[in-house]
Amino acid sequence: MDNKRLGFSLILIGVAFIVILIAFKIQVNQLTNSLMDLTGGNCVVGGKCAHEQSNLPFIIGVVLIVVTISLGIYIIYFSKTARLFETAHKDILNTIKSAKNKELKEDRFKILLQGLDDDEKKAILKIKEQDGISQSTLMYRTDLSKSKLSMVLSQLEKKNLITKVKKGKINNIFLKKAL
């Protein structure tokens, strides 16, 4: 049973207790009045007036009803706030994980760049900017000659950093998934 149903059930039980307690109090008052009528108006029973009998059972009943209804309301309210906090907590954790993963990837990429020469760095940075860039566009963006770019791309392929995908007469260059 979820918290909302449990809360409403407790409130309904509290309302039922109220009805029972009111019926109980009415019966006690009727019995007291009947006792007075039977005794001819003498309300003293066992040294005490019947109207001054202990209200302790009634007070205990009222306290139990208040506790039951309060608990029901608390459970209903708490279930909503708990879900809100849980959702917010998950969102924050996911955001932190995402940012951390992005940072780790960036750090690994920076370390990778340190092991490359200048032409390889130029090429890999431009490929990262536009994954799937055509080789001819890359040639213009890196300002490398066609033959120099071809050698650089071959070196990067040997280092398992990029892949070339041939589409007709055009080579599209992609970073490997690990980057």
pTM for this predicted structure: 0.47
Quote the tokens at residue 49.
Answer: 């007036």
Please provide the average confidence, as pLDDT, over all residues in the chain: 84
pLDDT digits (tens, 9 = 90+) for 34-92: 877 777 766 666 666 656 667 788 888 899 999 999 988 888 887 666 666 677 778 88
Q: List the CATH code of the domain at 118-175.
A: 1.10.10.10
Helix (H) / strand (E) containing 140:
helix 135-142
Q: Which residues of 143-155 are buried (b: 16+ CB within 10 A; e: fewer)?
A: ebeeeebeebbeb
Ordered by start, the domain boundaries in the chain are: 3-98, 118-175
Altogether, the residues listed in the chain come to a count of 179
Residue 3's contacts (CB-CB under 8 Å, 6 or more residues apart) are: 75, 76, 78, 79, 82
pLDDT of residue 73: 87
pLDDT digits (tens, 9 = 90+) for 85-141: 677 778 888 888 888 888 888 888 888 888 889 999 999 999 988 889 999 999 999
